[in-house]
Amino acid sequence: MKLEAICKETVHLAREVGAYMRREQSVVTAADVETKSLNSLVSHVDKEAERRLVLGLKNIYPDAGFIAEEGTGEPNKNGANWIVDPLDGTTNFLHGLPEYAVSIALHDGEKVIMGVVYEVGQNECYYAWKGGGAFCNDRPIRVSTNPHLSDSLLATGFPYYDFHKMEAYLNLLRECFQKTRGVRRWGSAAVDLAYVACGRFDGFFEYSLNPWDVAAGAHIVEEAGGKVRAFTPTNDPIFGREIIAYSSAIEEELVQLVTSHL
């Protein structure tokens, strides 16, 4: 498997589908929006983007199955799978905000081996393949080297349907406000992870996420020299619905802070 070639073909596909979404953003109306569950929205753009991605990815690596947000394609239970979020940040997209992304990962059955996050609004494509390093628009990227949590800028996602950890989460935020330079909530976990990978954010944490939200971004963070883990050490950060991503410089402080609450 020539991962670099597969990755670059995937980048090209992500940019093509992103261009389609950018054109559609100006014409989507409230009538186009469906509610899948509480605060989980979808439009024809998500569905069409996923259809285009699945079709293109089948041509790039036909042996892989699909784990996709809108259910297109079938998963491969004993081998490789594409993990696809056609539009991460749908609520932003539908409200005319620029922070949304195409997120594509390739999982070999044991681990993620390639990831692409195309942040459409900023026209920035982040990508990495196993052992190849991490890039944004063809430039190498690395995680932050800032050694102090007190000088760090963190990212998170606010709970929007799963509120069972709300009190603990608010207590964590309170402590973050007091011990860091601030916390940002972009509304796209894929973008948050990409920003950790390039050093804009020093760390990121969130719970109740799906594999298509985090698989690509988590791999890019690791290839950029960062680390990814779940709140619980034995849990899986891709499929376990909880994640912390960070540079090793603030690992001890950030992990202790998050896990002491969550």
Residues belonging to the binding site are 69, 85, 87-88, 213
Residues 6+ apart with CB under 8 A from 18: 101, 102, 118, 120
To which H or E segment does residue 73 belong?
none
**Numbered residues of the known binding site for Mg(2+):** 69, 85, 87-88, 213
Instruction: Give me the helix-helix angle, 189-197 and 211-223, nearest 10°.
Output: 0
The answer to whether 152 and 177 have CB atoms below 8 angstroms apart is no
Q: How far is CA 88 from CA 45, 213, 221, in A?
A: 12, 7, 17
Tokens of 49: 């983007």
Task: Tell me if 189 sits within 8 A of 213, measured CB to CB.
Answer: yes
